[in-house]
């Protein structure tokens, strides 16, 4: 095939049916779950003042390396959103909805990351956030919402990893202990981790490099540094998850790619994905973020699920396949008149999925197209039918019976056959 003048950029894709239909159905499923739990939708803009995102913390790759930021024609420094949480917090600070504010979202995000399977520069998320409550029950209900969503998709192998990163007040003592440990063992760490250690020692815990394994395994744990309050809250989250039957694994070294997390943090991983990309979703508390964006000191908690990766996990598990998008009726007409046009329009107006061929194709070519279309019924109008004021109704599955029907009774007949 000849190459087109332009191709999609690295890390971006065209989604055509049936994949695009799967995304649509997946988002609809998520919307149903979120609405069952009292969440209303937010549709924030896809680009914001770059500050909305840089205040997430410059130590994370998402902010320091992967932002699509540029100056617009008005001289404003803006960025395409790399995630929704910052926009939701900015919207909260700006709009001040009544708390607790429960909101869900879906749409594309942009990160200048190294593209590979399951990692794209434009990728979709669905997610939910609750702003204005410290109640650990909120953490549990959010996790349970995501869990129910995965269960209803039929994904069998999703595992919930759970940790607490405590409050910011305890963070310096913990970071100091981490740094001491990593410095003492620097010689055994990879070069990358030695560099990361100086900027953000927490991220070293997330290293997947084999060489770092033994040093990371011996590193001090945030769970040992939790305040009494944070420890009690974490205990309540765990009791709540047990009470509602959501299984979890404690993951005391779990840190996330963004820096705003406090207290409960979690990730959903799927063994159906490649080792580097096992996270199908994640989230946690971010009790200081709204204030950092100039809003009131309200706490927040939420999660986002990667749509593309969730669908890859569905593929691996053989669940949530593409839906049948074929039409019900294919109209075949070889007259010079407007029969085909009138029939498809009448069918569609009656709520029956209908399509046809164009460009005056032969009867044979049109019948071939009708068979290929997956339609259950073909309506055929040749010169004979046109003269007699009838339409031949042919069933395309099974035996393939054909009967003439009065033109004005076609819709009724089609309905009786579907």
- Selected binder of ligand HAM within 19, 48, 61, 113 (CB under 6 A): 113
**125 lines the binding site for ligand HAM (CB under 6 A):** yes
- Sheet containing strand 69-71, edge to edge, reads 47-49, 77-80, 69-71
Nearest distance from residue 178's CB to ligand HAM, in Å?
21
**299 lines the binding site for ligand HAM (CB under 6 A):** no
Residue with tokens 């003048």: 5
- Selected binder of ligand HAM within 132, 136, 240, 302 (CB under 6 A): 302
- Selected binder of ligand HAM within 141, 287, 308, 328 (CB under 6 A): 308
User: DSSP code of 8?
Assistant: P
Give residues with Cβ within 8 angstroms of 1, minimum separation 6.
none
**304 lines the binding site for ligand HAM (CB under 6 A):** yes
Is 42:88 a contact under the CB 8 Å cutoff? Answer: yes
Distance (Å, whole) CA 128 – CA 279: 17
Cβ count within 10 A of residue 33: 20
Distance (Å, whole) CA 309 – CA 382: 49
- Give the footprint of ligand HAM on residues 346-365 (CB under 6 A): none
**141 lines the binding site for ligand HAM (CB under 6 A):** no
- Angle 136-153/19-36 helices, nearest 10 degrees? 140
- Selected binder of ligand HAM within 234, 298, 306, 340 (CB under 6 A): 306
**280 lines the binding site for ligand HAM (CB under 6 A):** yes
Residue 175: closest CA among 165, 163, 189: 165
**303 lines the binding site for ligand HAM (CB under 6 A):** yes
3-state secondary structure of 16: coil
- Selected binder of ligand HAM within 295, 309, 347, 366 (CB under 6 A): 309
- Selected binder of ligand HAM within 120, 150, 174, 182 (CB under 6 A): 120
- Selected binder of ligand HAM within 153, 279, 378, 393 (CB under 6 A): 279
| Closer residue to ligand HAM in complex, CB, 156/374 | 156
**81 lines the binding site for ligand HAM (CB under 6 A):** no
CA distance readout (Å), 320 to 122, 317, 376: 22, 9, 23
Beta strand 262-270 with 279-285 is antiparallel
Cβ count within 10 A of residue 23: 18
Tell me the helices (H) and strands (E) count for the chain, helix number first.
16, 16
**30 lines the binding site for ligand HAM (CB under 6 A):** no
Nearest distance from residue 233's CB to ligand HAM, in Å?
16
Tokens of 209: 């490099």
- Selected binder of ligand HAM within 22, 90, 111, 263 (CB under 6 A): 111
Residue with tokens 């410059």: 58
| Closer residue to ligand HAM in complex, CB, 118/272 | 118
| Closer residue to ligand HAM in complex, CB, 39/182 | 39
**282 lines the binding site for ligand HAM (CB under 6 A):** yes
Is 212:190 a contact under the CB 8 Å cutoff? Answer: yes
Residue with tokens 């070519």: 365
Stretch that binds ligand HAM, among 97-105, 148-156, 303-311, 335-343 (CB under 6 A): 303-311
**283 lines the binding site for ligand HAM (CB under 6 A):** yes
Residue ranges in contact with ligand HAM by CB under 6 A: 83-85, 111, 113, 118-120, 123, 125, 127, 129, 256-258, 279-284, 286, 302-304, 306, 308-309
């Amino acid at each position: 095939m000849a190459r087109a003048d332009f191709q999609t950029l690295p890390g971006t894709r065209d989604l055509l049916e049936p994949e695009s239909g799967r995304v649509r159905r997946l988002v609809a499923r998520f919307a149903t779950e979120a609405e069952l739990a009292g969440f209303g939708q937010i549709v924030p803009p896809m680009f914001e003042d770059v500050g909305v995102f840089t205040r997430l913390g410059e130590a994370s790759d998402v902010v320091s390396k992967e932002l699509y930021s540029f100056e617009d024609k008005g001289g404003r420094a803006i960025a395409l959103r790399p995630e929704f949480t910052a926009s939701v917090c900015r919207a909260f600070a700006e709009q001040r909805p009544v708390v607790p504010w429960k909101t869900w979202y879906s749409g594309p995000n942009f990160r200048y990351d190294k593209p590979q399977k399951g990692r794209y520069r434009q990728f979709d998320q669905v997610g939910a956030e609750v702003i204005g409550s410290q109640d650990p029950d909120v953490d549990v209900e959010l996790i349970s919402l995501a869990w129910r969503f995965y269960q209803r998709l039929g994904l069998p192998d999703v595992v919930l990893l759970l940790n607490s990163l405590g409050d910011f007040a305890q963070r310096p003592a913990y970071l100091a202990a981490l740094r001491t440990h990593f410095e003492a063992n620097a010689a055994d760490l990879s070069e990358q981790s030695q560099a990361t250690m100086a900027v953000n020692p927490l991220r070293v815990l997330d290293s997947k490099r084999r060489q770092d394994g033994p040093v990371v395994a011996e590193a001090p744990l945030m769970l040992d540094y939790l305040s009494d309050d944070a420890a009690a809250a974490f205990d309540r989250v765990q009791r709540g998850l047990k009470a509602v039957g959501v299984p979890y694994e404690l993951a005391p070294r779990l840190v996330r790619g963004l820096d705003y997390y406090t207290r409960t943090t979690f990730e959903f991983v799927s063994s159906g994905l490649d080792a580097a990309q096992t996270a199908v979703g994640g989230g946690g508390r971010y009790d200081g973020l709204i204030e950092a964006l100039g809003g009131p000191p309200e706490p927040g908690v939420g999660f986002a699920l990667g749509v593309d990766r969730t669908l890859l996990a569905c593929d691996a598990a053989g669940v949530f396949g593409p839906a049948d998008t074929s039409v019900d009726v294919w109209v075949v007409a070889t007259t010079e008149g407007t029969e085909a046009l009138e029939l498809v329009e009448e069918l569609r107006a009656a709520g029956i999925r209908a399509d046809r061929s164009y460009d005056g194709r032969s009867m044979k070519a049109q019948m071939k197209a009708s068979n290929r279309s997956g339609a259950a019924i073909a309506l055929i109008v040749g010169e004979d039918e046109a003269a007699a004021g009838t339409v031949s109704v042919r069933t395309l599955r099974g035996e393939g019976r054909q009967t003439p029907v009065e033109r004005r009774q076609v819709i009724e007949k089609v309905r009786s056959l579907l």
